[in-house]
A = this chain, B = another copy of it.
Amino acid sequence: MPAFAKRMLQVRRSFIREILKVTADPSIISFAGGLPKPDLFPTGPMAEAAASVLAESGPAALQYSVTEGEPALRQWIARRYREKKGLDIDWQHILITNGSQQSLDLLGKVFLDPGDVVAVEMPGYIGAIQAFSVFEPTFAGVPLLPHGPDIEALTAALSRKKAKVFYAVPNFQNPSGLTYDLAARQAVAKALDAADAILVEDDPYGELRFSGESLPMVSSFMQGNAYMLGTFSKIAAPGLRLGWVVADEAALPKLVTAKQASDLHCSTLVQRILARYLATNDLDAHIAIIRGVYKAQRDIMLERIRAEFPPEVACTEPEGGMFLWITLPEGCSAFALFDLCIREKVAFVPGEPFFVDGSGQRTMRLNFSNADPEHIVEGIARMAKAIKVLLAKPTCVAA
């Protein structure tokens, strides 16, 4: 049999997807996934939108269309940047993609040669690391501190390692739930501009803010080389598989060519259904409902963690998003805890795979968006029991 391409040696299957298989057992309470809550999807309005689109312009909705994406959808996105962020973006600079994952694939295709250095947050989003890995870069980890990335480490990655790209999730990051503060945003932009490096700013969770003020995009502080990624997965529905990337005049044609070579264009039908849904529904009212439910679930999870976990176990308190990040005491293994938790019928994602330098052994991610309050209460109680067993062991690493 002919050999596989060398690039495939670097690309691992998603570790999280493998964990999700373990948690398919319905008796397990799982905080491992990263799914939005499906009861909140706008099923009825989407059905109405689908019916209208197919009744009014069915043949066009089922035909091939342009690579860049449906103009109505791109115009909606540009308007929203203006209204929510005060950013003036030409809608023609927006390329519709099959979700942020494809935006990352296209940016990798267009910008990354083998050996190029990509700086990523530690912990960082595994899907991005997987998407970029296909193009055989080297990764430089930049530790994520409570208020943003370690600027010294970022500067070192840019200067000493000549990092070409920094991939950042500044709002309610996956996996940590952390958010960059204003000073961090300005400092990141300054460091990237000084190095003529590229920012890939991914913002899947920005609209899911429960409290505090929305902060400007890091991209808005940059002189250029900034690519803003967005998705409808967390504010409408992930099963549509629709997102976008905003690019400048020089890069946009390259991204369009890469998209054309990848799959011609996104589904005309699903783009038109979404555009119709957005034109005939109040998305802000819908997002307010999501925010309310997720906030309530975060509150319960945090409250139960504080009540039941030993005080030496630390937990972030994110102002939005879908995840909490937990750090066990020095020397403890989250993988060992995972094994104990599976025996107790509760699951989470150990943090180590989110660290490109192989650290993070005592960290873990908990999802609160796709869990009912009663399961949160029971699941945290089960975890607390397992944590106490772990901490009672002499080394707290034995499984």
Q: What is A's interface to B at a CB cutoff of 8 Å?
A: 1-2, 4-8, 11-14, 17, 35-36, 38-39, 41, 43-44, 46-47, 50-51, 54-55, 58-65, 67, 97-99, 101-102, 105, 109-113, 116, 127, 130-131, 133-135, 164-165, 196-198, 224-225, 233, 237-242, 250-251, 253-254, 256-258, 260-270, 273
Contact = CB atoms under 8 A, between A and B. Distances in A.
Give 8 nearest A-B pairs by CB, closest first: A43-B58, A239-B268, A62-B237, A38-B59, A47-B54, A98-B263, A102-B263, A62-B239
Contacts of A8: 109-110, 254, 257-258
A240 B261 contact: no
Contacts of A39: 59
A157 to B, nearest CB: 14
Contact of A51 (B47, B267, B268): B47
B109 A63 contact: no
Contact of A105 (B133, B233, B261, B269): B261
A99 B99 CA distance: 17
A101 B264 CA distance: 7
A54 B43 contact: yes
A166 to B, nearest CB: 12
B35 A261 contact: no
Contacts of A266: 98, 241
Contacts of A38: 59-60, 62-63
A4 B111 contact: yes
Copies of this chain, complex-wide, total: 2
Nearest to A233: B64
A69 B6 CA distance: 26
Contacts of A61: 239
30 contacts: A1-B224, A2-B197, A6-B113, A7-B109, A8-B257, A11-B261, A13-B256, A17-B260, A38-B62, A39-B59, A41-B63, A47-B55, A50-B50, A51-B51, A62-B238, A64-B238, A97-B263, A98-B98, A99-B264, A101-B261, A101-B263, A130-B261, A133-B261, A238-B268, A239-B267, A241-B265, A241-B268, A262-B262, A267-B267, A269-B270
Given A62-B46, A63-B41, A267 B254 contact: no
A4 B110 contact: yes
Contacts of A64: 35, 233, 238-239
Contacts of A44: 54, 58
A129 to B, nearest CB: 10
A103 B233 CA distance: 24
Contacts of A241: 263-268
B264 A63 contact: no
